[in-house]
Structure 1
Amino acid sequence: MSNADAWGLPGVLSFFDAARSTVDQVYPSEWFFLRDRLRRGMNVLDVGCAQGGFAAILGEHLDHFHYTGIDINAEMIAKARQRHPGHEFHVVAEDTEWQCLGGRQFDLVMVLGILHLHEGWRDTIARAWGHTGSCLMLDLREHQGQTLEDKTMSSFSMCFGADDDLYEQTRLPYVIVNSAEALAEVRRNTPGAGRVSHYGYLHPVSAAARTPVAEVMTNVWCVER
């Protein structure tokens, strides 16, 4: 099953019907940077937007902004369009250029909750930076050991609210990056960045992960032009 199909499983879609759509559901490491970058009229790109929950989150604080969400799963995007008809959504193919965006630049680009769950995370950072006019926010799972990105060694099951064999057997990579390599990759894929900051905390790995690591640093990186 492809990564795009995995995100379209019924239990996964149902999970995002309610998840990640209010400020209370934003992680502290995300809000640490996001809260100071909210501006009326801002233009936001959300990479891996699921059902567009961040449109509602931003709407709790802003009365005027433009939100564009992209995702690899068509069913997620269909639900996003229904829930947030005033905003813009596109289906994109994984590991390809985002032609639907043309050469557009955004005040804020967010890549949150997906980089540790797909193989092409480095390329995704680079593509997101190419559309960043001011600030890029992204998150990584990190530790002091060797980078783990082979899903035979570190994987994540798609058991969002569902526990039958199909969900358990549908596995994505659970990428845990060496902290020094994380810094190097962020810098390499954001050429010309004026400022790079990060904030995170130790947290047990997800219960859906099958990995030899017990705790990870859930780091949010803020990269500014």
Structure 2
Amino acid sequence: MVDPYKSWLDAGVAEAMGALALEDLAKPDWETHPPFKYFLRAMERLGGAATLLDAGCGVGHYSEVLARRYPRVRYTGFDFSPHMVDEARRLWPGREFFVADMVGHDYAGHDVVLASSLIEVMDDWARGSEALCQTLTGKLVLHRVRVHGGPTVRNDTTGYPGQPTYTHVHNERELLNFYEERGLSAVWREYWTEHPQATYIFEKA
């Protein structure tokens, strides 16, 4: 049985992700990198946002994306992996990162909550999303979500660097229904042209 949590808790994985983030951000055309490009497009529609909470922030690279293009937005990030948070603090000193679990966290008080590459690698993603739906007071940016028209499936794959993990490919209608039943409506979405992924903005209905 693949245990993705073991992968994300590995210090070597955090180090590899940090190196990859620096490599992507050092490119002259970094803004065309799909994860950054579609995140920035979502932020264009959230121009009045003053605070952003990055749930499952990994090595915190979206803090640098914000610093370059939306420096007035106050960024805070958390991850359940102490190694990820340590790497984020090493890469981006002076920025706010802390260790916490998505389950049971209080998301109130933030203009934007970013969940990037998160629900597809969580075994019980629905449980992890419950607290978010219950306590969200701002907008939710659900980013880098794998969706299609077929049934939701779990694919075993390889993560960083060579660690076994898995990803969920969600039935889009079921995914949207999940959030709608909990009072959140998708007010904007964009399907990626480079990969079968999507980025959504949700708000309280």
Name the TM-score, length of structure 1 as normaliser.
Answer: 0.73
Distance 1:35 1:59 in 2: 14
Larger radius of gyration: 1
- Where does residue 97 of structure 1 map in the other structure? 104
What's the offset of the Cα at 1:200?
0.7
Tell me, yes or no, if structure 1 residue 73 matches structure 2 residue 81.
Answer: yes
More helix by share: 2
Root mean square deviation of aligned Cα: 2.7
Percent of pairs with identical residues: 18
Distance 2:109 2:66 in 1: 19
- Where does residue 93 of structure 2 map in the other structure? 85
Aligned to 1:37, the other structure's residue is in SS state coil
Which runs of structure 1 show a deviation greater than 6 angstroms over 4 or more consecutive aligned residues? none
Tell me, yes or no, if structure 1 residue 50 matches structure 2 residue 51.
Answer: no
CA contact (8 A) 2:103 2:131 kept: no
Any gaps of 5 or more consecutive residues in structure 2? none
Which of the numbers 7, 19, 22 marks the counterpart of 2:21? 19
Deviations, residues 61-98 of structure 1 (Å, cap 9, x unaligned) = 233332111112101101212333333212124x6312
Identify if the C-alpha distance between structure 1 residues 15 and 197 changes in structure 2 by more than 3 Å, giving closer, same or farther: same
Name the TM-score, length of structure 2 as normaliser.
Answer: 0.79
Deviates more, 1:21-30 or 1:178-187: 21-30
What's the offset of the Cα at 1:203?
5.0
Tell me, yes or no, if structure 1 residue 184 matches structure 2 residue 173.
Answer: no
Tell me, yes or no, if structure 1 residue 198 matches structure 2 residue 189.
Answer: yes
Any gaps of 5 or more consecutive residues in structure 1? 205-216
CA contact (8 A) 2:11 2:83 kept: no
Aligned to 1:128, the other structure's residue is in SS state helix
- Where does residue 200 of structure 2 map in the other structure? 221
Tell me, yes or no, if structure 1 residue 120 matches structure 2 residue 124.
Answer: yes
Deviations, residues 8-39 of structure 1 (Å, cap 9, x unaligned) = 25155223234177452434433321223244
